[in-house]
Structure 1
Amino acid sequence: MRIGDVAAATGLTTRAVRYYEEQGLLSPGRTPSGHRTYTSADIRRLRTVSELLQAGLTVSDVRSFAHVLDSAPLRDPSGAGEPDRCDVAEVAQHRLGELDQRIARLSSIRDGLASQLTNRFGDLFAPAPAPGPAPASAPVSRPGNCPAADGT
């Protein structure tokens, strides 16, 4: 299978497929003339890599445990491959910890901003409502002469 077919099958671009190869996440075969050839196992690996990246891991994270991407399922009841599972767990816990720290920092910044706006502007400051359309029967009230975000 050629790179264009793999890109179509995985929803990636040909450039992304080449990039993942450059990063050591994929090792396609080669024809005698040097063209890349891909197997169904390569497609499975690329889908796994893509899902892990979309979930929030980095290329570096995935590269650190790329050696287990094609192995038996991680929940192997026999306990085989336990050291490999530790690699995955360590990377995942590190990334989750970093995300938790970022969330806490952003929540603190948001709370500080809301507090400052309330202290500074009092009744003029009304927190933004939750996303979603307002009920048709409820009038939209804005303090003072504040225009809506759409300019109305």
Structure 2
Amino acid sequence: MRIGDAAVATGLTPRALRHYEEQGLLVPGRTPAGHRIYTPADIRRLRAIGELLHAGLTVSDVRSFAHVLDATAVQDRSEADESDRCDVAEVSQQRLKELDRRIERLSLLRARLASQLTDHFGDLFTEQPPAP
């Protein structure tokens, strides 16, 4: 499968596929003319990368445990060794802690803004409960 077809199959852009290759997340095959060729395994890996990035990990996060992506994409975690588990756990825990810090900071900012609006505008400002 060529890059355009792989992009459509994964919901990514050709530019993103090239970027992931540059970042060492993927090594597609090449035709004799030098065109990239993507296998079904590459497509599964790209989908996993896309899902992880969409969930909030960074390219650097994913790169740090890219070597286990193929096993996790096929649900074969039993073959992952302890160092693989540590890589994934460490990166994911760091990212979750960072998100918790952001949520706390945004919650404080929201409370501060609501308080200021109430103080300055009184009845003109009616706070709506936060969305779930």
Distance 1:6 1:51, change over 3 A: same
**Is residue 36 of structure 1 aligned with residue 36 of structure 2?**
yes
Comparing both chains, which one has the higher relative contact order based on Cα–Cα distances under 8 Å and sequence gaps of 6 or more?
2
Higher gyration radius (CA): 1
CA displacement 1:64-106 (0-9 Å, x = unmatched): 1101101253642x7x412101101110110010010001001
| 1:147 match | none
CA contact (8 A) 2:71 2:77 kept: no
Runs (4+) of structure 1 moved beyond 4 Å? Answer: none
Other structure's SS at 1:26 match? coil
| 1:10 match | 10
In 2, Cα distance between equivalents of 1:15 and 1:115: 45
In 2, Cα distance between equivalents of 1:84 and 1:118: 51
TM-score (norm 2): 0.88
Residues 3-152 of structure 1 aligned to structure 2 (within 5 Å):
3-71=3-71, 73=75, 75-76=77-78, 80-128=80-128
**Structure with more of its chain in helix, by fraction:** 2
* Count of matched residue positions in the alignment of Structure 1 and Structure 2: 129
TM-score (norm 1): 0.77
Q: Which runs of 5+ in 2 are unaligned?
A: none
Quote the sequence identity (%). 71
